[in-house]
Amino acid sequence: MAISQVRQYGDPALRMRAAEVEKFDGELRTLAERMTALMHEADGIGLAATQLGILRRLFVCSLDDEDTAIVNPVLAKTGTEMGTDEEGCLSLPDVRVTVERPVAVTLEGRGLDGEPLILVLEGFSARVVQHELDHLEGTLIIDRTDPESRREALRVLRPRLALQR
């Protein structure tokens, strides 16, 4: 996989909800390995399958310098404390916006072999998995920021969108 395969703002796949993964097999493992390699090649910290146009509920991320693949993730619990920080996205180049999210979350899902996973996360790691989970729902960081930041981000993205056509 090449960095050029990461779908960019304006691609319809980025706005679609991904389907549950039903088969836990070598193909899924290979996809996750390729996604992880691409994530590192692009200097990212997370990558959702939808960012490659693959509408399956899978994302990879680097949590505390450990690569993790999470299949069929759901937010089981969110803390009440909210935190605001700047986020970027491989699908929205040159855009960074402020996003408010719960500081602590419990994420449930499955590993690549289908085994249940429960991750209790705080701070930056919690932010990363929420960002990637948003991708699987068709939600982008510009949907979660304030109106002025969204307008500014769209000013950056629209000229690129015109070049893609």
What is the full DSSP assignment across 28-72? HHHHHHHHHHHHHHTT-SEEEGGGGT--BSEEEEEETTEEEEEEE
pLDDT grade for 158, boundaries at 50, 70 and 90: confident
Give, in words, the CATH class of 3-164.
alpha beta
What is the pLDDT confidence band of residue 136, given thresholds at 50, 70 and 90? very high
Report the distance separating Cα 110 and Cα 74, nearest Å.
Answer: 10
Calpha distance 129→111 (Å, rounded): 14
Check pLDDT > 90 for residue 116: yes
Q: Return the domain boundaries, the chain.
A: 3-164
- Determine the pLDDT at residue 23: 97
DSSP-based helix, strand, coil % in the chain, nearest 5: 40, 35, 25
Mean model confidence pLDDT for the chain: 95
Question: With contact defined as beta carbons under 8 Å apart, do 83 and 46 qualify?
Answer: no
Q: Is the pLDDT of residue 110 over 90?
A: yes
132 belongs to the catalytic site: yes
- Cα–Cα distance measured from residue 44 to residue 52, given in angstroms and rounded to the nearest whole number: 14
Catalytic residue among 20, 27, 87, 132: 132
At residue 161, does pLDDT exceed 80? no
The residue-averaged pLDDT of 139-161 equals 93
pLDDT in tens, 54-74: 999 999 999 988 999 999 999
What does the pLDDT look like over 94-108, one tens digit per residue? 999 999 999 999 999
